[in-house]
Amino acid sequence: MSDRPTPLRRTKIVATLGPASDREGVLEQMIAAGVDVVRLNFSHGSADDHRRRLSAVREIAARQGRSVAALGDLQGPKIRIARFTEGKVVLEEGAPFVIDVALDGQAGDASRVGCDYRELADDVSAGDRLLLDDGRLVLDVSRVDGSAIHTTVVVGGELSNNKGINKQGGGLSAPALTDKDKADLETAMAIGVDYLAVSFPRSAADMQEARALLGEAGREIGLVAKLERAEAVADDETLDGIIEASEAVMVARGDLGVEIGDEALIGTQKRIIKHARSHNRAVITATQMMESMIESPLPTRAEVFDVANAVLDATDAVMLSAETAAGDFPVETVEAMARVCLGAERERIAQSSGHRIHEGFSKIDETIALSAMYAANHLSGVAAIACMTSTGYTPLIASRIRSGLPIVGLAHSPVAQRRMALYRGVISLPFDTSEMSADELNDQALARVVAQGIAVQGDHVILTRGDHMNAHGGTNTLRILEVEAQHE
């Protein structure tokens, strides 16, 4: 019998591309180190930059035999102050400060500044609290006089050009999709992203608008709702509506933490992950996961615990932003993230599940997928669950149950293969059944799993499939197969 396969990392890694990953050889090393999804941040760079980077990802992934998904991330209505004559000012605690939406955009000083969001004066009133520069500066609104919002500085400090504004508790009326976002959405479709993230959605309607804009041409693109507004997570009905209108959600902890307060963030993160999984949606945990590695070759202990905590919450993926887009150690950051994920996944809590154990099922494919996972978790000698799939849906359902075993998604469609790259515990492999007879499908699937080093002689592999391959929703069969000598 061969040696046991090396444990496979279940939690996926999303890495943002940028100038750091553009350096010679870096992208290739990042993908080799374990990047599963690349993020194209439309807040920075041109359409040509994104097209060039995605083309390089596709070429490198094909060479390395990997399925790597691409996530396009729309900027959304980032509300910002305008600019200062001197570039920056220092706001003193207790001092008055005016945000005037009618002020010349270049004329800011220590007493006032303009704002690019003209509706801000209508959205705030006396008693509101405004947070600038990701909450580093705090202003309390004393009154609104026409275009001028008069505030008192509660927490002061240095304030420079174009910093963001949040209203504590949410309530800003800016639409989730700006004109820039709509143009970037067209670019995302043209270059072939697999997922598209919508920033600052307030309700399911914002996600439905994005789906309508994608239309028939973008029907295979998965929508990701970035949860960063207080009103999006204020109650379970709104949260669940956004989740159900999306293919995945992102716990976008930067703006979300500013709006709801850091003290509420950890509980909200856990609630989002739990709700996303219960609705059979993927979930990404993001923002400042290894921020110190922008300038350091090693993460802090706090960052290690943060990543591990998200893994134990059963997030599908953890995301790197500036660490890989602009940092000094992009490859080392991916390697560190992979080590921490593997370490956390060894804990027993990461491998046990009570997911939907007391619920009934209404769909046959869902019943088969969850039955396969329960069987795999309770039958000794099982090395993997293999799912023949046309869309990746069966592996997604199966991956909602915690397990220490890999789920192998066998798909002919490259789109389905890349879509599965985001799902926790799913290994996506190409599997073309067009030249296979019905009698040889099982043997060929088992051989593919063995060839990948996932199972060895004597192991069992649980296989799910449908009577008709490439038929969406057709999974209706579960088989338990044994790896015999000829498969070695």
Annotated catalytic sites, by residue? 39, 80, 226, 287
3-state SS class at 238 = helix
Report residue 241 as tokens. Answer: 């509506």
Is the Cα torsion angle 227, 233, 238, 243 positive or negative in sign? Answer: positive
Q: Are strands 382-388 and 460-466 parallel, antiparallel or unpaired?
A: parallel
Residue keyed to tokens 């400042």? 288
Task: Return d(Cα 396, Cα 7) in angstroms, integer.
Answer: 20
Report residue 446 as tokens. Answer: 């088992």
Task: Return d(Cα 218, Cα 227) in angstroms, integer.
Answer: 22
Report residue 269 as tokens. Answer: 């993160």
What lies within 8 Å, CB to CB, of 417 at 6+ separation is 67, 392, 409, 411, 428, 429, 430
Phi, psi dihedral angles at 355 (to 5 degrees): -55, 115
Task: Return d(Cα 120, Cα 281) in angstroms, integer.
Answer: 34
Report residue 105 as tokens. Answer: 């955009």
Task: Return d(Cα 91, Cα 61) in angstroms, integer.
Answer: 49
Q: How far apart are the first and last CA of the chain?
A: 9
3-state SS class at 51 = helix
Q: Which residues pair with 38 in a beta bridge?
A: 15, 70
Helix, strand and coil in the chain, % to nearest 5: 40, 25, 40
- Beta strands in 156-258, from DSSP E residues, in sequence order: 157-160, 165-167, 195-198, 222-227, 248-252
Degrees, nearest 5: CA angle 332-338-344: 135
Task: Return d(Cα 206, Cα 276) in angstroms, integer.
Answer: 18
> In 468-481, which positions are buried (b, 16+ CB within 10 angstroms) versus exposed (e)?
ebbeeebbeebeeb
Q: What is the number of other CB atoms lying within 10 angstroms of the CB of residue 6?
A: 8
Report residue 409 as tokens. Answer: 């998604």
Residue keyed to tokens 């910002």? 80
Q: Answer whether 155's CB lies under 8 Å from 244's CB.
A: no
What lies within 8 Å, CB to CB, of 356 at 6+ separation is 278, 370, 400
